[in-house]
Structures are given as C-alpha cells and as structure tokens.
A and B are shown apart, each in its own frame.
Chain A
Amino acid sequence: MSNSVQQTQARVAASLRRRYRAERRFKLYGLLAVLLGVSFVLFLFGAIIAQGAAAFRQAQVTLDIQYNEDVLGLAGERTPEALATADYAALVREALRARFPDAQGREGGRAALRLVSNSAAHELQRRVEVDPSRIGTGERLTFLAGADVDQFLKGKIDRTLPEDQRPLSDQQIAWIDALREDGALRLAFNRGFFTNGDSREPEQAGVLGALAGSMYTLLVTLVLSFPIGVAAAAYLEEFAPRNRWTDLIEVNINNLAAVPSIVFGLLGLALFLNFFGLPRSAPLVGGLVLTLLTLPTIIITSRAAIRAVPPSIREAALGMGASNLQMVTDHVLPLAMPGILTGAIIGLARALGETAPLLMIGMVAFIVDVPRGFTDPSTVLPVQVFLWADSPERAFVERTSAAIIVLLLFLLIVNATAAVLRRRFERRW
C-alpha cells in the first residue's frame, strides 16, 4: 500500500520536474522571441546609422584658381555665348597642375581632374558669368572633392589593395596625401546633401528635391483625406441607418485597409494618368493615390474615436435642443478630435513611407530640379532611397543610408507628435 503511494509520489515528483522544465523552456522561448525582435530593431537602426552617418560629412578641396583667358579659350570675347561654352574644367585642371607638376599630359590632367567634382566647373562658370571682370584675376575657392576621394578619406577604399583593384591610382593617392597634409583637402559638414536635388554624381546628390516632393504629396493627401475621412466616419457612426447598404460600406472599408498598396498604384495609373490624363510623376497624382490609400485607415481610427465618446454627451446635447448635426459638429467631434488626429497622423506616417504605388505613377523618374508646385515632376523621399539603393556607385550606399536616416527622423517626429497628442488630450470616460 505505502509502496504504491511512494511510487505515485515519485512519479508525480518526476513529472513535476519535467513539467517545470517545460514551463521554464516555454517562458524562455517567449523571452527569446521578444528579445530577438527588439535586438533586430536595434541592429537595423545601428547598421543604418553606422553606414549613413558618414554621408553628413563630405570631402572638400581648396584650390587657387587663376581665371586665365587662354586656358578658358576665350581670346578676348565676352559675349554670353562665348562665356557659356568656355572650358571651365581646364581652370581646375591648371590649378591642379600648378600644385602637382607631375600631372602632365592628357592622362595626368584627367587623373588630377578626377580628384575634384565636376560641379567645380559649373561653379566657376557661374562666377565668371556673374562677373566677367574676374577673368585675369585669381582667387582661392573650395570645391566638392570627387566621390572616390570622399570615399577614400572616409576609409572606404583600401589603399593596400593592388592598384588595378581600386578606383584611385597610386599617383592620385599620393596627391590626396599631399593635399591633406597642407589642409587643402578635408572633411566638412555636407550642406549640399540638404540643399541639392538628385544627381548622377554621388557627391552632388542631395535630398531637397525628394523632401519637397514628399511635402507637396503629403499636403495633397492631408487636405483631401482628413476631411473626407472624418466626414465618412461621422456619417457611418452618427447618421447611417443600419441596413445592408451601410454594412456593405463597412465591409468595404475594412477590406480596403488590407488591399496591397501596389494595387492602389495600378488604380492611379489606369484612372488618373491614362483616363483623366493627369501629368506623370506629379505630387498631385501621388497625393491622390495616397489619399485613397490612407482613407480607410483614417476612417477606421476616426470611427473608433467617435464611438469612444459616451452617449451621455449626445443625449445632453439633444436634450438642450441641438439638432443631430449640431450635436455631432459641436460636441461629439471636438471631444473625439484627439483620437481622430492621432489616427490621421498615423495614416500620414504610413503615406510618408509608402513607395510601391508611387512607382506605378512614374515618380521614379530621375529628376534634378527641386519641384516648385503640385504638377512639377518630382520624387519622394522613400522613392529616392529606392533609386539610390539601385545605383552601382559605392558612394551612393552611404547617401542611401543618410536618406533613410532623414526619412526615419521625419517618421519619428510625426509619430512622436501623435504620441504627445494622445497623451495630452486623451480622455478616459
């Protein structure tokens, strides 16, 4: 008898040990899953910041430029045409030759010129055209260095590699070292990144065009999707009779929220571009597509916010003689506004990061100019990231990461605004 009790106790004890072990394992799996997710967040941010931080500094080279008439090939002419076609790159080349006597011949001149970005020639042309009396004088100017020089200064190009495996020759590296020694070549804050549009040359490429495009696009989205979304939500919550028609609208909205974004791009392409003939690549069309995309989100969150307003508010308003519409516009909507705004901001954040539908309506074009209106061809920040990520030049890798940092920063600001709004104005009924 006591034997069987002991046996049972032993079995229970053994099984308990097993079950407790299983319990600990189970808990550990859960913890690991959470930590894995969190560590991925940290890893992603770390990797992007580590790659992108370098792009905020840019190699610049200071040169003594002589505006030599013969080098420019002007021969006494000062007409605008002559000034526009003069050889400004030659000025840079001569300045480099004066500094490095060994940069002789065509090859040497070309190798030297590769140290400096080709924006230097444009800069010189601008200066001469503004003031032709500069010709014959000289001045000390600072230019962007070439992309390879920039990468070399940041340690992205290994000088111990054999010469034919790196983009810079031994001679160029010697020049770079010489320039660095007398402080003519250094890393400085990269202003151009925030003030330039896109460019094929990595050292001249900036995010301003994409930022402006994003702003215009989001403005269209906000102006359209917020009022329409709130109106739709107010109707569905406060006025709609319960019938099959409103059920259909409801099911529809819920389904639309989960339709892949690229399908909205197809709609935009077929409807706005091909049928209505709106311009390609325009923020207006981008904004319209993103409006359709964010509308379901805004409607759903606004409805939740409106539903959270207690019925007693409505009854009190109606009891004081307000009409249905007065009750909604004067009482329910103001009280629901923090929740509605939070939803709208979250919808906008989604629109800000959206890429795929904008590819469909031609916002992937290579556009140098900063857009100045709603119908100018433009691109947006996430599409810019996509475009740069596709570029083969290695200098674009850090620019891509830097553009991502800018994008994430904007998202952070937007989401933080939403969080602050919610915390400050949210009411618990």
Chain B
Amino acid sequence: MSASVLLLILMGLMVAGYLIGRLRSLAMVGGARGLRRLQSLPHYYGLYTALWCGLPALLVLVLWGAFQEPVLVQLAQRTAPVEVQEAGAVQMDLYMNDVRNVLSGSVAAAQASPGVAATAERYRQLHGAARLALTVLLLCLAIGGLLWARARIDPQRRARVAVENTFQYLLLACSMLAVFITLGIFLSVVYESVQFFRAVSPLEFLFGTNWSPQTAIRADQVGSSGSFGAVPLFLGTAMITGIAMLVAVPLGLFAAIYLAEYAGAKFRAWAKPMLEVLAGIPTVVYGFFAALTMGPALRNLGATIGLDVAAESALAAGLVMGIMIIPFISSLADDMITAVPQSLRDGAYALGATRSEAIRQVVLRAALPGIVGGVLLAISRAIGETMIVVMAAGLAAKMTANPFDAVTTVTVQIVTLLTGDQEFDGPKTLAAFALGLMLFLLTLALNVLALRVVRKYREQYE
C-alpha cells in the first residue's frame, strides 16, 4: 500500500479508537448518569485510545519513510559486479544511476547490462518486501495499541493527565524542531565542506585569488584541476552589498525619519504600506527588473557620457538590491525612532533646538544602537540575497573595484555550481557547500551581533 493510503487507514483507525475509548469509558460507569464516577471526561478516554493507536504507528511510518530509500539502495548495491564495488563511490553512483533509469522505465531492462538489470530486479524485490513489511508492522502497531489502550481503560485511570502530558511532549518536540533545523543546516553543510577541504586546501579557498571551478571531464585535459580561490567572490559580494547599502541606508533612514517625525497621520497611513510593498515583492521580480530594465538603462546612460558599463554591472544589481532593502531599514528605523520617549524631544525643544536639530542630535543618537542593529540585519540580508544577483550580476569571477564591471558573488556561484548538475562528488559541487558554509557563518555572526545590539537598546527605555 502506498504511504498516503496507509496514512488514511491510520487516520481511520484513530477515529475508531477515539469512539471506542469514549464508548468504553461511558459503558464502564453505566452511561451518562455515572459520569461523575469517571476520573476524566469521556472524550479524554477517547483521545487516550486514539493516541495509543496512532502515535507509535505514525512515528514508525515517518522514520521508515525517511530511511527506507538509503537502506534499500545499500542492500541493492551488494548485487553489483565486484569491479564496480571496488571502483569507488563515483563509479557506484554512475552504476546506480543506470539502475534508476531501468527502474523508472526510461531504459528497458533488456538493453541494460546484466549487472544493472540484476540490481534493478533486486531493488524491486526489496522495495516490494519493504512495503509489505511496513504495512503489516503499521497495522499491527495501530490495532495492538488500540486494543492495549482499550484494555487499560477503567474509571480510575487518569486519562486526562496522560493525554495532556503526551500533548506537552508533542509541543516540546515541535519547538525543538527549530534547533534541529539549525543543527541540520550546520551538519550537512559542514560535512560536505570537509569533503571539499580534503581536495582543496582551506587556505587556498580563503585566500586564493583565482576562481574557475570548471573541472574538466577528462583527467588529461588542460586546466583539469579547476581552481578554487574565493577572494574574487567575497570581493564581488562585498561590492554589490556596499552599493546596495549606499542606496538603502540613506533612503531608508530619511524615509523613516520623515514618516516618524514629520508626516501627518494621513500621509503616513498610505506611504508606509506603499513602502512596505517593496518588501513583499518576490526577489525574482527584482532580478528580472535589474536584468532587463536597470542593466540596459545604465549601459545606455554610460554610453552617452562615455563610460564603459558592462551589461551585467555590479551597479545595476546593487542599485536594485538597495531598493529592495529600503523598507527593511525604514520600518526597523521607524520602530526605533518612535520608541524614543517624547520627553527627550521635549527637552531638546526646550533648549531651543529646531525639529531637525532635535532629531539629529537627540533622537537619532538615542535610537542609534537599534538603527545599527537594523543595518547589520540588512547587510546580512544583502549578502544572502540570491535571485537579483543570479539574474543581473555576472558569472565570471574578476578581481576588480570598478562598479561598472561585471562581478560575481558567493550566492551566484552556489547556484551555478549546483543547478543542472547530476553527479555530486566532484570538488565543483562540494565547493558550493563550502561557499554555503561561509555564507551561513557570516550571516549568523551578523544576526547574533544585530540581535544583541537591538535587544540591549530595547531594554534601555522599557
């Protein structure tokens, strides 16, 4: 049975368990009249039975679903010819790819090599056996749990406590998921990066200035090694982020000041949501705009004043990214500015300051830590932004400080290294994970710093 049918059956059994538990508890005390002799309300006995019926089975189903495929592949691989087994992981992957093609029917079994056909057949058998085993196991667990719980129902059983404790553990598990996600990101990225650093020295990666990851297909080809010096990528990222910040910080900050301090309620009521629309537009739309409108426009502008602007210039990507980040800075700064107590402004006015003087010398200074935190968050966002640069920045890594030139970034390289690539072990694909690790660590550091700065400031006036 397929997983979705099993799931439906489980749901059905759980509903049945609920009804059985409820009726059983009522029957034991002689119907609704004996209700006060029950320790818990009838529906808690129902839930108690349903949980016993469903939870163990669901747990097994999820774990089984997660680990079935890797285990089956491992088992099926044992039928591969000896020379493939000894040739290493890459050969094995190619071999399993053939097997998969046979299994999906895109290659007829008769055309495949006998080894491949045998492995495919073995996999198919294992798959069928696993499915049957899972079905039997789940049904046994569900029905067994149901009967067990039913047998345990009696008027003295503290069903409510049991049910509530279970729910609390479920809630706890949900909240721990966030930690597991972080852990999962960290472990998976680190694991692949370690593989990468076995092939390429970390020093070369961090300080090398030549990035050309195109590993050749044949070993004897010229430049077959590929080189992985990531400094040009870091520089490119820094340049585009810098341009974006040059646009976003002044515009966002001035917009926030105006909206918080000068604008009337009416103007604020429509201008603020309009600005926030910018934050809701998908990044791929900005990318399209940067590549098709901003890039050519800047190029034409450059041509008329005699500047040589590349079609995929860092400037175009940076400008559009800056626009995207404006609302991010403006709404954070707005919050920070409105959080400054009115008494500080009044004090400044009383000393004869004009409004702008009060803002510049008192309000902004009081709000500074929060604003700095917001800017740090915005920088981390710009560094990790992908679609705009994938669509509007260049692909070739170049060491340049010229914003009119095409540069490439960390995120662009991650995408180009990983899209459309099937094999998964070459340094080329692993390099993407090393870049991902850098990205993760850098943004994490920025976020921790920013959150700390913001929190410290918030405590000041509360």
Contacts and interface: CB of A to CB of B under 8 A. Distances in A.
A44 B263 CA distance: 24
Interface stretch (B30-38, B203-211, B350-358): B350-358
A241 to B, nearest CB: 11
Given A34-B259, A255-B451, A263-B185, A324 B414 contact: no
Given A235-B171, A260-B386, A267 B189 contact: yes
Contacts of B385: 260
Nearest to A25: B356
Q: Does more than half of chain B's interface fall in helix, strand or loop, or is it mixed?
A: helix
Interface in B319-336: 323, 326-327, 330
Contact of A271 (B188, B251, B439): B188
Interface stretch (A72-80, A113-121, A127-135, A348-356): A348-356
| Residue from A23, A44, A48, A264 whose CB has the most chain B CB atoms within 10 Å | A44
A292 interface: yes
B126 interface: no
Contacts of B105: none
B436 interface: yes
A295 B66 CA distance: 20
B283 to A, nearest CB: 7
B88 interface: no
Contact of B171 (A29, A232, A275, A353): A232
A305 to B, nearest CB: 16
Contact of B387 (A23, A275, A349, A355): A355
A200 to B, nearest CB: 16
B187 to A, nearest CB: 9
Contacts of B354: 19-20, 22-23
A262 interface: yes
B29 to A, nearest CB: 20
A323 B419 CA distance: 52
A390 B292 CA distance: 10
Interface stretch (A86-94, A160-168, A407-415, A420-428): A407-415
Given A23-B354, A267-B189, A349 B258 contact: no
A359 B255 CA distance: 35
| Residue from A47, A260, A323, A401 whose CB has the most chain B CB atoms within 10 Å | A260
A234 B360 CA distance: 42
Interface string A9-41: 000000000011011001101111110111011
Nearest to B435: A266
Nearest to A363: B419
Given A239-B168, A262-B439, 16 more contacts: A33-B255, A36-B251, A231-B171, A252-B179, A253-B178, A260-B381, A263-B185, A270-B433, A276-B67, A295-B178, A323-B160, A356-B387, A362-B419, A386-B387, A386-B391, A389-B288
A41 B278 contact: yes
30 contacts: A19-B357, A31-B258, A36-B251, A37-B255, A37-B274, A44-B281, A47-B289, A47-B293, A249-B176, A249-B178, A251-B451, A255-B448, A256-B181, A258-B377, A258-B380, A259-B185, A259-B444, A259-B447, A262-B436, A262-B439, A264-B185, A266-B436, A276-B66, A295-B178, A353-B281, A353-B284, A364-B420, A389-B288, A389-B391, A407-B285
B148 interface: no
Contacts of A390: 391
Interface string B295-327: 000000000000000000000000000010011
B440 interface: yes
B277 interface: yes
B174 A232 contact: yes
Interface string B252-287: 111101110111000000010011011011111101
Contacts of A38: 271, 274-275
Nearest to B415: A359
Contact of A252 (B174, B178, B275, B292): B178
A234 B253 CA distance: 35
Contact of B175 (A44, A235, A356): A235
Interface string A238-282: 011000000011011111101111111011011100111110000
B383 interface: yes
Contacts of B258: 27, 29-31, 33-34
Contacts of B182: 252, 255-256
Interface string B353-397: 011110110000000000000000100110111110011000000
B277 A41 contact: yes
Interface of A: 19-20, 22-23, 26-27, 29-34, 36-38, 40-41, 44, 47-48, 227-229, 231-236, 239-240, 248-249, 251-256, 258-264, 266-267, 269-271, 274-278, 292, 295-296, 299, 323-325, 349, 352-356, 359-360, 362, 364, 382-383, 385-386, 389-390, 397, 400-401, 404, 407-408, 411, 415
B432 interface: yes
A262 B386 contact: yes
Given A48-B285, A276-B70, A231 B178 contact: no
Contacts of B275: 34, 37-38, 41
Contacts of B66: 276
10 closest pairs, A vs B, by CB? A260-B384, A30-B258, A353-B282, A277-B69, A33-B254, A235-B171, A270-B188, A26-B356, A356-B386, A232-B175
A221 B305 CA distance: 50
B75 interface: no
Interface residues of B, number: 93
A30 to B, nearest CB: 3
| Residue from A44, A240, A266 whose CB has the most chain B CB atoms within 10 Å | A266
Interface in B76-122: none
A270 B436 CA distance: 12
B167 interface: yes
Nearest to B359: A26
Contacts of A255: 182, 444, 447-448, 451
B281 A408 contact: yes
| Residue from A234, A295, A356 whose CB has the most chain B CB atoms within 10 Å | A356
B185 A323 contact: no
Contacts of A274: 424
A260 to B, nearest CB: 2
A340 to B, nearest CB: 14
